């Protein structure tokens, strides 16, 4: 069960000494989430890379007559892991942003606006400086967003390979269209890095929900103790005292 809370309730929940302790935990968990992010990426890349290697080995093997019997399962495997990687990237992004927002809201009275103040290089005024910044300078690009776009592109590649494995005549009779699909998806992904992969430096306005966790009552309890009844007088019958009619 979730209950939406607002800024006043959030501040009240971490009042006093709790704020410093909460900030420390939020920073540690944020770092932990980033470490998990790259471990998950390595996990999926291992299976996706193995699927690509297997697909290429089957396609290059002249001794295999019925290649579809192997390329179709490999394509399905690669597609499942690619979609899974895309979904995991989005889920990891949610929790990373969660802890970043906690740090933003808790840091002021302890360490100041350290995480919210972003220091970036000023833009060069001359042509040579602009070219240097374009080629070797820093950019407002989000690593996690770029990873999401890559996982989406790999998903498209596996979908195309699956169609090719199911319908070999498609890639033979429509070879030029097949290549154009691959090239177009690659070019659109690269353009998407600079269009949709930028880091947001604007105001963050997250919606806060407080999850409720309640321990379920024992089996057999049908009501709560009345105000005048003690807990001892309202015990649930033990399993040994319960018998079927």
- The 10s digit of each residue's pLDDT in 90-105 is 999 999 999 999 999 9
**Rounded mean pLDDT, 214-224:** 69
Residue 244: inside a domain: no
Mean pLDDT, rounded, of the chain:
85
Confidence of residue 174 (pLDDT cuts 50, 70, 90): low
On whether residue 230 sits in a domain, the answer given is: no
- Confidence (pLDDT) at 173: 61
What's the total number of domains in the chain? 1
Q: Residue 242 — very low, low, confident or very high, per pLDDT cuts 50/70/90?
A: very low
Output the pLDDT for position 176.
Answer: 77
Say if 190 falls within a structural domain: yes
Q: Specify if 196 maps to a domain.
A: yes
For residue 4, list its beta bridge partners. Answer: 209
Alpha carbon separation from 5 to 18, 29, 112, 208 (Å, rounded): 18, 22, 24, 6
In a domain, 109, yes or no: yes
- The number of angstroms, rounded, from the C-alpha of 10 to the middle of its chain's C-alpha atoms is 25
Render pLDDT for 104-146 as a digit per residue (tens, 0 to 9). 999 998 899 998 898 888 888 898 888 988 888 888 899 999 9
Using CA atoms, how far apart are residues 19 and 100, in angstroms rounded to an integer? 15
182 in helix, strand or coil? helix
In a domain, 128, yes or no: no
pLDDT of 32 strictly over 70: yes
* Predicted local confidence at residue 220, as pLDDT: 57
User: Does 135 reside within a domain?
Assistant: no
Let me know if residue 233 belongs to a domain. no
Its domain, for residue 15, covers 2-116+142-213
pLDDT digits (tens, 9 = 90+) for 195-211: 999 888 888 889 999 98
Q: How confident is the model at residue 65 (pLDDT cuts 50, 70, 90)?
A: confident
CA distance 89 to 84: 8
């Amino acid at each position: 069960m979730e209950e939406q809370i607002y800024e006043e309730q959030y501040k009240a929940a971490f009042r006093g000494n709790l704020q410093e302790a909460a900030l420390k935990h939020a920073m540690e968990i944020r770092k932990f989430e980033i470490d998990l992010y790259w471990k998950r990426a390595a996990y999926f890349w291992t299976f996706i890379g193995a699927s690509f290697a297997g697909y290429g080995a089957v396609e290059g093997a002249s001794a295999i007559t019925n290649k579809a019997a192997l390329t179709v399962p490999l394509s399905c495997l690669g597609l499942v892991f690619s979609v899974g990687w895309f979904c995991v990237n989005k889920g990891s992004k949610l929790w990373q942003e969660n802890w970043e927002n906690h740090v933003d809201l808790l840091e002021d009275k302890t360490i100041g606006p350290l995480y919210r103040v972003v220091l970036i290089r000023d833009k060069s005024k001359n042509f040579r400086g602009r070219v240097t910044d374009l080629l070797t300078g820093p950019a407002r690009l989000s690593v996690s967003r770029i990873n999401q776009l890559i996982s989406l592109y790999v998903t498209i590649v596996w979908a195309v390979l699956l169609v090719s494995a199911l319908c070999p005549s498609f890639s033979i009779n429509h070879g030029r269209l097949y290549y154009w699909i691959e090239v177009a998806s690659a070019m659109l992904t690269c353009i998407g890095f600079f269009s949709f992969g930028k880091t947001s430096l604007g105001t963050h306005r997250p919606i806060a929900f407080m999850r409720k966790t309640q321990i379920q009552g024992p089996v057999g309890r049908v009501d709560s103790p009345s105000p005048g009844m003690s807990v001892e007088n309202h015990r649930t019958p033990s399993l040994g005292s319960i018998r079927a009619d």
